Amino acid sequence: MNIPCRGLLFDNDGVLVDSDPGVEQAWSQWARDRGLPAEEVTAMVHGRRSADTVALLVADPPERAAALAEIDRLEIEAAALTTALPGALDLLTSLPQESWAVVTSGVTALARARLAAAGLPLPPVLIAADDVSHGKPAPDGYRAAAEKLGIDPATAVVFEDSVAGATAGAAAGAYVIGVGPRGLDTEAPVVVTDLRGLTWRDGALDLTAARLLRS
């Protein structure tokens, strides 16, 4: 299976890195400090900007800024728990600099901290939560990344593990590939276990050696 494309746009958490231990730790503490059910809170955060999650959970607008600053601090402190997901390092280091970007719902400092902890290269283009007015499922981040790479979003492949992220990629006009078990909850036509076996060359993504969960 080969997908013609001019660029690859990656979500970070759940696609390139496993940040679930840090997410669980930070958001559970944040929830407990506010008397909220930790399991319900941690279940709703994937694919969302922290600002959007906080807005849903903190009713009083004046309290939201402090609540947002607190979760951003807790997540950055827990970033050391982040590890690279299988295949991420091999794929990223094989790509030309002008061909890929990361689009994440985390803020810039958090995205950089998680990539560094996982031992992954910083992307040539990084679009984070603080770079867009509307987070996923809005397509803004993926459109901005494609523009910075100088390509049409319709010529890009997006890798996502969340429903919100996959919706954003599709709305931007890109071809979306789901990643991991959470990727099965998306409407992505193809879902891979992880990034192992994927290669990109001569303007085409080769999935022949990929581990497929859905195709």
Q: Which of 13, 52, 72, 161 is catalytic?
A: 13
Task: Report how far residue 40's alpha carbon sits from residue 87's, in angstroms, rounded to the nearest whole number.
Answer: 31
DSSP helix/strand/coil, 10: strand
Burial class of residue 204 (count of CB atoms within 10 Å of its CB; 0-12, 13-18, 19+): middle
Burial class of residue 11 (count of CB atoms within 10 Å of its CB; 0-12, 13-18, 19+): buried
11 is catalytic: yes
Comparing CA positions, the residue from 157, 174, 179, 169 lying closest to residue 100 is: 157
Q: Which of 11, 72, 140, 161 is catalytic?
A: 11
33 is catalytic: no
Both structure tokens of 40: 């319900």
AA letter at 209: A
Cα atoms in the Cβ-side hemisphere of radius 13 Å centred on 23 = 25
Task: Report how far residue 91's alpha carbon sits from residue 35's, in angstroms, rounded to the nearest whole number.
Answer: 42
Q: Which residues are catalytic?
A: 11, 13
